[in-house]
Amino acid sequence: MKEIINFLEQNKFGNLATSADGQPYVRPFEYGFKTDDGVFFYTSDDKAVYSQLQSNPKASFCATDENLTYVQLTGDVKFTDDKKYKDMMIQNSRNASKIYQSADNPQFKVFYMPHGHAMMHKHEGGYVCDENF
């Protein structure tokens, strides 16, 4: 998993897929960080992604680099109001501090995949790393 997380630290932007009413939805998204508790992301409580994940916690995130190597994370998400994680997101995210200014912003929502499946595929050479977390 270390190789996958290193990749995500270098390629924080990707796409997050959710679903609503049986239809898939994909949008640009930013990876936050990983702890022993899971892989973390953030959103706002007024966004469709928030209500979609409240209704159906299944999600998939995919980030790609310039060589077409990609990492895909898939799992169920949970939301947390733990200030520790909100503070970490403000510190680790390129955009969260600009958007929310503070971990105390009531619209600022942090969610994470405590467990799931992670896969890295290197386009050149066909290398695949397949792990559960």
pTM of the model: 0.95
Q: DSSP string spanning 90-111?
A: HHH-SSHHHHHSSTT-TTEEEE
Number of domains in the chain: 1
Tell me the pLDDT tens digit for each residue of 99-133. 999 999 999 999 999 999 999 999 888 899 999 99
Q: What is the mean pLDDT of residues 14-20?
A: 97
Tell me the pLDDT tens digit for each residue of 30-79. 999 999 999 999 999 999 999 999 999 999 999 999 999 999 999 999 99
Buried b / exposed e over 120-131, threshold 16 CB at 10 Å, is beeeeeeeeeee
pLDDT grade, residue 94 (50/70/90)? confident
Q: For residue 59, give the CATH number of its domain.
A: 2.30.110.10
The parent domain of residue 25 ranges over 2-132
